[in-house]
Structure 1
């Protein structure tokens, strides 16, 4: 048996253990890909490749041909792909390492002036500014949708640079009826789960604008981080 084949079979056994753990049955001798895929976003995303790896292993371990030697030869590039997938499953990208950590997030208070915030957003390229209370808990988001909602709320309203966040807070709150909504996750959610959140539409005209990270994944906890679609795209390709 070649060295690459031996290494492949060792990696396969590790992969079975990892996938079956996600399936909730680490003692099983079967490769529980389908069950794990129904419970885990990373396995679901790579389900096709996992099944192919399983078929390759079965062709090696349970040959049906009569000629001598293996019908399947494991190449170094394929072995590297298997090792890379195993590493991804064992060390998944999680929400705590995605996006912007709390200390780097531009945030707003109720007393902040809209003109100053708008200038900062334009200069630094921000699209969403979380609004926090005195306990560092998110109470709303200042963005274009909030400004438009305020302007459309009454024919006579205008926005002045000197206005403060508290004056338009009802249109910034998380439950405001905008084309953007927001989700919360804990620090250990996998990249694939966050991607699914951004891809899901609440309605034909509503999308997820940002995902916020808190210790429990609930909106009542202190803000730990913010993830935008750009952050997810970068995390998926890095």
Structure 2
């Protein structure tokens, strides 16, 4: 599997030929040469300029250096702007950069290469860009520097892509495999003779080859499987929620959104909302340029499973309750004034009274008020105990409404009890949870409207 892809620039990513040949023609003309034919000029696309002027024009190093200077004057002024991307190169780079590290390894001057990449909007895909800085006379030098800049990855994980024999030979020198881009400027048979392990006749075949070498195709299949599983799970969530709200008054057409807006969804609300957005993208904007807009990750699929489990097994009321061992409880022998101080300090309006771990009644400010009214304001002192107010502790004695539910009561049932207006135009103030929903059993938990509805 290849994890690092080194790309040549000229004739591989960009069709820089017109700008290069025009600049070579200019340099030769300035040096007294007559105009050259296109076939002759095309040889300059790809190889290092020093090699080209020496090999193709018979120049010595000093004369070649003068030609290179003239060439660059022209190329920097006009030639580099004549460097369009080959069709579908942007797509290839976008797809490949999502699963591999990309690098440009070119014999072109590095600053010129970066300028072209920026002009064509593809520099963002490359982690490393290496070109000639005057100390890298061959493609092998360029590739070696690129490998070092990449942190010397295992050579078995690297492949060089280029359109000339120099690219293939440089790759072999550095011990890495190569792909010959036959759509570039190579002569017939040049890439095969140089020993390219793979040949791509066009950009489309290069993309298929790179994707296969990177293992992205296998990951694409995994992504497709995950996407289908995600959609299947989401459909199950939708079906469960449609059943849940079938006979309820709904505020939204979407059962999923109805549930998200419902207080019951609190434990999984954020996860479900993220999944809802992902599903909408998948359903309404499935592809862009032939690629999926979004592919759910495994953690997202796991989160949706959690939501489905939550929806299929509705939570119990006790899951939202303040557990019995954490409820502020008082005993019959506690002092009334001390209990009232505790209630004031904790912001409680009523507390359960327990005797021998059994429910005894509810003490509230209303209990005290009725006691005082009965006794004309007398009878309450620092030593007055809760049991002396026993006649005002029973559930039925309170203005507020209290209810008892069993430990297996569903959250949705308890919620409906809080929402329902009962006698004396009052809602239920507190729901106590005992094993069987009977007042004479140990208190397992307590719920207030705040716990369920988020309101007092």
TM bin, normalised by shorter chain, reads 0.5 to 0.7
What is the aligned partner in structure 2 of residue 191 from structure 1?
Answer: 411
Structure 2: distance between partners of 1:95 and 1:168: 31
User: Which protein is richer in helix relative to its size?
Assistant: 2
Deviation at 1:164, TM superposition (A): 0.9
Q: Note the residue ranges of structure 2 that are not aligned, 5 or more in a row.
A: 1-222, 259-281, 287-292, 295-299
Q: Note the residue ranges of structure 1 that are not aligned, 5 or more in a row.
A: 20-32, 54-69
Distance 1:46 1:103, change over 3 A: farther
Higher relative contact order (CA 8 A, sep 6+): 1
Alignment TM-score, normalising by the size of structure 2 = 0.37
Rg (Cα) greater in structure? 2
Q: Write out per-residue CA displacement over residues 116-174 of structure 1, whole angstroms, 9 at most, x where no aligned residue.
A: 1112222233322211121x221211111211222233535452232111111111111
Distance 1:12 1:109, change over 3 A: same
What is the aligned partner in structure 1 of residue 353 from structure 2?
Answer: 131
What is the aligned partner in structure 2 of residue 50 from structure 1?
Answer: 255
Q: 2:385 aligns with which of 161, 164, 168?
A: 164
Q: Confirm or deny that 1:173 pairs with 2:388.
A: no
Distance 1:158 1:200, change over 3 A: farther
Distance 1:99 1:109, change over 3 A: same
Q: 1:97 aligns with which of 312, 316, 319?
A: 319
SS in 2 for 1:212: strand
SS in 2 for 1:168: helix
Q: 2:439 aligns with which of 199, 210, 219?
A: 219
Number of residue-to-residue matches in the alignment: 200
What is the aligned partner in structure 2 of residue 228 from structure 1?
Answer: 448
Q: Write out per-residue CA displacement over residues 183-203 of structure 1, whole angstroms, 9 at most, x where no aligned residue.
A: 112233333322221122222
Alignment TM-score, normalising by the size of structure 1 = 0.66
* 2:238–2:256 Cα contact (<8 Å) kept: no
* 1:37–1:47 Cα contact (<8 Å) kept: no
Structure 1: distance between partners of 2:234 and 2:435: 35
Q: 1:145 aligns with which of 366, 375, 378?
A: 366
Structure 2: distance between partners of 1:147 and 1:221: 25
Deviation at 1:12, TM superposition (A): 4.7
Distance 1:45 1:146, change over 3 A: farther
Structure 2: distance between partners of 1:52 and 1:200: 23
* 2:321–2:446 Cα contact (<8 Å) kept: yes
